[in-house]
């Protein structure tokens, strides 16, 4: 079994103070968590396997990426570094990779223009292209293609949302995951809005369903609150990596503690 990855996530926005890491619950009620460059450096030193940097307001605000912040962050980290938010074109991807990122993650623009995924993977290689799928439970079963049984026995399908969770698309998340794999994506970053920031654990039903539906790595995101949740994400959700934000930002638990917990239970991790 390949080593499982632990990935801190920096949700970054611009305010009067400049670039700032923030964290909310279900994509709203954001509160500040620190400077992105300083946090990135800390996570590199603390043993993170990779780092994800998401400019969460670039697409909704229709602005370009924070290239200067990406450059300064890349100078501080020596682990794989993925950047997303506001990517609209091949030129944007090239600019981000040139600024020091190892991969890009695309959500809104991939949904609006799926051919961007194919073109980007052909130019830069599938290993560089991560598709972010933000999704939310929808209980109107007449509209979904793939119905999933939830932990409480209810049935739902998961709808893809874009623009930072602001706009539902009517697209079934499992079908979209299969589609982006066909288009050449090398990895999927899956976030359940229903669990984001709740610390109730990853959304296992959709994580498992998508992990079983595709042959590319799936990163579970949304809901980590304790080490057990990472274990569940890997074992029950069948994820290849688990991403977390607030529990690391506010030092509720360390990356080392998570890895020790997993290793004690037979999950291979990198040291």
* % of residues, the chain, pLDDT over 70: 91
CB burial of residue 137 (10 Å; 0-12, 13-18, 19+): buried
Contacts of 29 (CB under 8 A, 6+ apart): none
Active site residue 11: yes
pTM: 0.92
Cβ contact 133:190 at 8 Å: yes
CA atoms of 97 and 183, how far apart (whole Å): 20
Helix ranges, the chain (H):
36-45, 58-61, 67-74, 90-98, 108-112, 115-124, 173-183, 204-213, 227-235, 246-249, 255-264
pLDDT of residue 165: 77
Measure CA of the first residue to CA of the last residue in the chain; give whole Å. 15
Domain-wise residue ranges, the chain: 5-264
Q: Please give the C-alpha separations between residue 110 and each of 76, 130, 152, in angstroms, as whole numbers.
A: 29, 10, 32
If you average pLDDT over residues 250-270, what whole number do you get?
Answer: 96
Confidence of residue 63 (pLDDT cuts 50, 70, 90): low
| Active-site residue identified among 35, 134, 203, 240 | 134
pLDDT of residue 54: 86
Residue 50 DSSP class: -
CATH architecture assignment, domain 5-264 = Alpha-Beta Barrel (3.20)
Active site residue 134: yes
Highest mean pLDDT among 19-23, 118-122, 141-145: 118-122
């Amino acid at each position: 079994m390949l080593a499982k990855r632990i990935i801190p996530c920096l949700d970054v926005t611009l305010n009067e103070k400049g670039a700032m890491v923030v964290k909310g619950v279900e994509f709203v009620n954001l509160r500040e968590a620190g400077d992105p460059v300083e946090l990135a450096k800390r996570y590199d030193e603390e043993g993170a396997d990779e780092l994800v940097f998401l400019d969460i307001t670039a697409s909704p605000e229709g602005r370009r990426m924070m290239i200067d912040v990406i450059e300064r962050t890349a100078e501080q980290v020596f682990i794989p570094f993925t950047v997303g938010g506001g990517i609209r074109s091949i030129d944007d991807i090239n600019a981000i990779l040139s600024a020091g990122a190892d991969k890009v993650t695309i959500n809104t623009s991939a949904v609006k223009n799926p051919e961007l995924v194919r073109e980007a993977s052909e130019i830069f290689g599938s290993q560089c292209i991560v598709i972010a799928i933000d999704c939310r439970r929808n209980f109107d079963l007449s509209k979904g293609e793939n119905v999933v049984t939830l932990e409480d026995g209810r049935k739902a399908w998961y709808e893809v949302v874009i623009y930072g969770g602001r706009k539902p698309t009517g697209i079934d998340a499992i079908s979209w995951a299969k589609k982006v794999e066909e288009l050449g994506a090398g990895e999927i970053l899956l976030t359940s809005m229903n669990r984001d920031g709740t610390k109730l654990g990853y959304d296992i039903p959709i994580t498992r369903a998508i992990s079983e539906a595709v042959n590319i790595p799936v990163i579970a995101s949304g809901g980590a609150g304790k080490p057990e949740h990472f274990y569940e994400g890997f074992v029950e959700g069948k994820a290849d990596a688990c991403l977390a934000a607030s529990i690391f930002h506010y030092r509720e638990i360390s990356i080392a503690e998570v890895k020790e917990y997993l290793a004690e239970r037979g999950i291979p991790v990198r040291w």
